[in-house]
Amino acid sequence: MIDKLMKRFALSREGAKGLVRAVAACTVADLALMFPVGLLYLLVSDFLRAGRSFGSYGLYGLGIAAALVLIWLTEFWKYNATYFSTYRESGACRIRLAEKLRQLPLAFFGKKDLADLTNTIMGDVQTTEQMFSHYVPQFYGSIISTCLVAINLLIYDWQMALAALWVLPVALLLVGLSKKTQNYFSRRQNDALVAVADGVQECLETIRDLKSSKAERKYLDGLGEKIDALEVRHIKSELGTAMFVVPAQMVLKLGIASVALAGSMRLMSGELSLVTFFLFLLVVSRIYEPMNFSLQNLAAMNSLQINIDRMNEINETSSQSGEMAFSPKGCDIAFEHVGFAYNSGETVLKDVSFIAKQGEVTALIGPSGGGKSTAVKLAARFWDIDRGRITVGGVDVSKVDPEKLLTAYSIVFQDVTLFNNTVMENIRIGRKNASDAEVIQAAKEAMCDEFIAKLPQGYQTMIGENGSTLSGGERQRISIARALLKDAPIILLDEATASLDAENETEIQQAISRLVERKTVLIIAHRMRTVENADKIVVLSEGTVAEMGTPEELMRKNGAFARMVKLQTESQNWALE
């Protein structure tokens, strides 16, 4: 049962056990509320009998006190079992989803929208948190407690029990039939929510471009339309729920009328005692109360599956895995007839073979879309290839755990990612146990020390979201400082100097020259001056190796590399007239 609950509600094992405890607590709490009904029934029965002394009713005073204590204890247990357990599980669920995302191949993120994933971790988990604290345990608890009470009523007087209970399955059926309708509204509402989140995020990321293009008002008008559409979706979703819940609650009220009518007729014919009639009137006044809320709970639960499906999609996506043992013989990177496509029918690499040797700089060049960045990312197993093999020191990277594999890599991308933290901690990401002195030394080698000294608090300066207070060159140098601090045997450089001016590029190249000593270096660059001292150049075009050799060899061949050098030389000499 625990395994089924884990699958059904996207819970951890402890969360599934907590749900069972919460249902049990809700069931006991609902049954405890029936205790005063039984006590009142016995009191009225005794009162109607002759010869009872007033003192004998003192026992009922103790019964009332016991009932109050029992209700307090069961409600306390219910509160702890539902709310506290659910909040712990929702926290664990967010961590579990984030941990799962960390283990997924980048191919998964290429098919997913960032706002959609954020909404899953935050919004969907928040929705399930509310469901499991307010709705799910209470619904199943009320169903179980109602069934237990119903069995006893049927044994006591089946005719009156039927008069009281017939409305329950009818009401549940009405709400149950609304599941498809509510799922439709929930999906549309979720789509509208993701559209708004996308719009807000895009607006914040592109605000400078919008202002510079005077497109701010037009964009905000479009965002306002998305927000209005979300509001409409919320209203329609609520109305869609009310169309089924309100009639079902009205059906419940008919139970009181049917008990009163059937009881009156049987009382007049002498088939039913006054005390029994009184008992059933008491019971229906109590038994419908939890079911009234359960109908609302069921309506809310009908739309819960959408959120759970989104969470399960992440949980059930296959993770990249492999052996933790990684003992390569050297650090040569070999591509052997590698084929890869991001999506079916969109081939990026076709039968690519080359070797990036340890102690050498291997440069990947070629036109945009030729597969250079893809090849570098495949070397670090950011994706798994479709055909062929990639090895490091003779070890197939697809057989190695991705995190273990990446301990051998230092990577500097064109798009640097920094965190809203101090300069010191942003560099220390390269090696978390590095001392302050080691961080500062890496910063000096990466030519960071000069600009860091000008910051208000030096190395302790907060640099804003993604280093917003720094220039492009400064951010790039911090990225190289990280790589220097990590000191891994394999270096991957993807357009590390593309966005820099000549002075900054010279400084960065000096930093890179310190970074790459005695290591396997795979570098991507469009500027020929960046790769003119490379040991080997691999020209990738349309997903294949068009040329390969030293710069001198390729210049003598007068092929693709020579044409690229010529075109870039001509562009550098271009000037306005």
523-569 pLDDT tens trace: 887 766 667 778 899 999 888 998 999 888 888 888 888 888 777 67
Pull the structure tokens for residue 156.
Answer: 């006591």
In angstroms, what is the C-alpha Rg of the chain?
Answer: 35
225 and 270 belong to one structural domain:
yes
233 and 343 belong to one structural domain:
no
208 and 291 belong to one structural domain:
yes
Query: Exposure string (b/e) for 310-343, b if CB count within 10 Å is 16 or more?
Result: bbeebeeeeebebeeebebeebbbbbbebebbee
Q: Is residue 469 part of a domain?
A: no
Pairing of strands 490-494, 387-392: unpaired
The predicted structure's pLDDT at residue 503? 64
290 and 184 belong to one structural domain:
yes
Nearest to residue 97, comparing CAs of 401, 312, 304? 312
- The boundaries of the domain holding residue 125 are 2-312
Q: Which residues contact 409 (CB under 8 A, 6 or more apart)?
A: 380, 488, 490, 491, 492
118 and 157 belong to one structural domain:
yes
80 and 201 belong to one structural domain:
yes
351 and 213 belong to one structural domain:
no
**Which DSSP helix (H) or strand (E) runs through 517?**
none
Return per-residue pLDDT of the chain as tens, 577 residues.
787 887 777 788 888 888 889 889 988 988 888 787 777 777 777 766 654 555 566 776 787 888 889 889 998 998 888 888 888 888 888 888 888 888 887 767 766 777 777 778 887 888 888 788 877 888 888 888 888 888 888 888 888 888 888 888 888 787 777 777 777 777 788 788 878 888 887 887 788 778 877 788 888 888 888 888 888 888 887 777 777 777 877 887 788 888 888 888 888 888 877 777 777 877 777 777 767 767 766 766 767 777 788 888 888 888 888 888 888 888 999 999 999 987 766 788 988 999 999 988 899 988 888 888 889 989 999 888 889 999 999 999 999 988 889 889 988 887 788 888 999 999 999 888 999 999 999 888 888 888 898 888 999 999 887 777 888 788 888 888 898 899 899 989 887 665 556 666 666 666 667 667 778 989 887 766 667 778 899 999 888 998 999 888 888 888 888 888 777 676 555 544 5
CB count within 10 Å of CB 491 equals 24
228 and 154 belong to one structural domain:
yes
The predicted structure's pLDDT at residue 448? 86
Q: Is residue 419 part of a domain?
A: no
Q: Which residue, 287, 312, 337, sits at the end of a domain?
A: 312
**Which DSSP helix (H) or strand (E) runs through 248?**
helix 216-268
Give the separation between CA 446 and CA 512, rounded to whole angstroms. 8
Chain center to CA of 446? 36
CATH at residue 397: 3.40.50.300
The predicted structure's pLDDT at residue 56? 60
Nearest to residue 362, comparing CAs of 533, 563, 556, 542? 533
Q: Which residue, 278, 312, 346, sits at the end of a domain?
A: 312
254 and 339 belong to one structural domain:
no
Q: Is residue 204 part of a domain?
A: yes
Asked whether the beta carbons of 118 and 197 are under 8 A apart, the reply is yes
Pull the structure tokens for residue 233.
Answer: 């979706």
262 and 308 belong to one structural domain:
yes
The predicted structure's pLDDT at residue 42? 74
Total number of domains in the chain: 2
Chain center to CA of 390? 31
298 and 360 belong to one structural domain:
no
168 and 145 belong to one structural domain:
yes
